[in-house]
Amino acid sequence: MLQRPLQSVGRRAISLERCTRVQRAWNSSAAISPKFSEPEWATREEPVAEYATERGYIEISVGQDLGGYTVLRKLGWGTGSTVWLAQRKSDWVYAALKATKGIEQDPTDSPRRQELAFLQRTRTQPPSHPGHARISHLYDAFAHPHSRAGHQCLATEPLSQHLALLAEHRCRDRPASCATSCARCSRRSIFGTESATSCTRT
């Protein structure tokens, strides 16, 4: 009795007929859905098109020197800025370097213009307040050297990851540990918020 030919795949042997069925199913699914899903980085990074506008994001690269800081890696982005891990060349202190979009045409009461004034005010507050250590303090502020639209660079103390990343990477298999971490972060945030609001009232 003749046996059907077998095709070896690793340690398993499957029939040629089964291989043909799998190939046929793959071809039909590819014909139905010819486009692959959008890569993950495309949904997690800032819109590249906004670099082309004068008031959009400004280009920054790893290894670049800005205002006495060396850019080491990217930390994240927001609707109004990108944030980079940098190191101050004078004393090797790490900083979060925030490069804002162009604010030259923003009104004086815009949040991006008020941010610098707020950080400058918190820097002058006494460290005796319980929440003083819970907020990020300003190191330096300077204009981007190649900007024609008022791009600002704010160097502040680097903080830990935000709660969304904490939940994504640390809470999958350890919900109890995640709840403790979130509670600790919330407590620190309350102290920091109280410290920030108290210095704006005075």
Q: Which residues are documented as binding site for ATP?
A: 98
Dig out the tokens for 7 from the structure. Answer: 């095709």
Whole-number Å distance between alpha carbons of 78 and 100: 9
**DSSP run (H or E) holding 70:** strand 69-77
| C-alpha closest to that of 175 among 164, 183, 167 | 167
Whole-number Å distance between alpha carbons of 53 and 76: 20
Strand partners, 70: 65, 87
Dig out the tokens for 179 from the structure. Answer: 């709840």
Binding-site residue numbers are: 98
**DSSP run (H or E) holding 94:** strand 94-100
Cα distances from 132 to residues 90, 96, 155, in angstroms, run 25, 18, 17
Whole-number Å distance between alpha carbons of 192 and 199: 11
**Rounded to the nearest 5 degrees, what angle is found at the Cα of 68, between the Cα atoms of 143 and 97?**
60
